[in-house]
Amino acid sequence: MLNEDRMPLVFVPTPLGNLRDITLRALDVLREAALIVAEDSRVARRLLSAYTLPGREIWTYHEHNAATATAAILARAREELVAVVTDAGMPGISDPGTALSAAARQAGVPIEVLPGPTAFACAAVLSGFDLRRFAFEGFPPRAGGERRAAFRAARARAQPSVWYEAPHRIHATLDDLAAVAPAARIFLLREFTKLHEQQIAGTPADVAAALAQPVRGEIVFVLDGGPLEEPVRSADGPELDTAIGRLIDEGHSTSAIAKALAERGLGERRHLYARVAERRRAGPHASEA
């Protein structure tokens, strides 16, 4: 049973994948809560079922309803024990739970946060980078130019930074990292604590090549700090044409040529791919025209 003086709004971290990573205190709260506030009610019900916990009233709370649901959640928390969970890990990290915590403080509703699984901290430790200082950056911007600017700023701080990324954007993100710092050290952790967990270390190009296609699952990566490298040279000019022509003559695929030229610092991989494809269409004597 819970103590009678337990805080009414409790943030409860849940396992990232392995169900044994739940704490006894988390189970106590989930068992006793009158209301569970969840990112996805289906995920929350599966979690309760896995621990054979009795059914509970569940409200969803996400970016699309946070503005309208907050007041009702706080009203319940003034009267009963309310547990807040996310789909996996610590609620409030890169999800709307942060807004709920801030609103509760402003409204004078007491909050308690239980310690538990947090993917970004585990990835940072697994990286082996110097963690006397590091930054958690959350998700990178979605626009390529803004992403590259964010990575430049992170590298300029000369300390590791930890990022989340969606599987359908990770290759574009790694391409942008390669454009900013092609020799940077990256550690990527996919599906942490789950059956198909994958750990990859290397340059952005190394990591991209090691990712299975299609990419699935939760991703966190660590970018080591360091000085900015020389800017990538523009993908044009006779040097590039000569290099493309030689590699085509050697029988390499378009993808392999784009990757090799990107690693030499001759441009961004996707732009080089388009340039090589255009050269193939133009024929073997295109550069002589």
CATH code at 48?
3.40.1010.10
On whether residue 231 sits in a domain, the answer given is no
Give the SS3 label for residue 265. coil
Shared-domain flag, residues 14 and 109: yes
Q: Using 50, 70 and 90 to split pLDDT, how confident is the model at 256?
A: confident
pLDDT tens sequence across 25-78: 999 999 999 999 999 999 999 999 999 998 889 999 988 888 899 999 999 999
Q: How far apart are CA 182 and CA 160, in angstroms?
A: 16
* pLDDT the model gives residue 262: 76
Q: Tell me which of 113, 130, 147 is where a domain ends.
A: 113
Q: Are residues 19 and 100 in the same domain?
A: yes
DSSP, collapsed to helix, strand or coil, labels residue 161 as strand
In a domain, 33, yes or no: yes
22 and 36 assigned to the same domain: yes
Please name the residues in contact with 126: beta carbons below 8 A apart, sequence gap of 6 or more: 187, 189, 199
Q: How many domains does the chain have?
A: 3
pLDDT at 206: 94
Instruction: Give backbone dihedrals phi and psi of 23, rounded to 5 degrees, phi first.
Output: -100, 160
Which of the listed residues 113, 137, 161 is the one where a domain comes to its end? 113
Distance of alpha carbon 273 from alpha carbon 254, whole angstroms: 6
Concatenated DSSP letters of 112-155? EE-----HHHHHHHHHT---SS-EEEESPPSSHHHHHHHHHHHH
> How much is the average pLDDT of 198-213?
93
Q: What one-character DSSP code corresponds to residue 215?
A: -
Per the domain annotation, does 233 fall within a domain?
no
Same domain, 101 and 168: no
Q: How confident is the model at residue 258 (pLDDT cuts 50, 70, 90)?
A: confident
Residues 178 and 257 in one domain: no
CA neighbours closer than 13 Å in the CB half-sphere of residue 283 = 4
Which of 93, 113, 133 corresponds to the end of one domain?
Answer: 113
- 16 lies in which domain range? 9-113
Asked if residue 145 and residue 109 are part of one domain, the reply reads no
CA pair distance 131, 25, nearest whole angstrom: 29
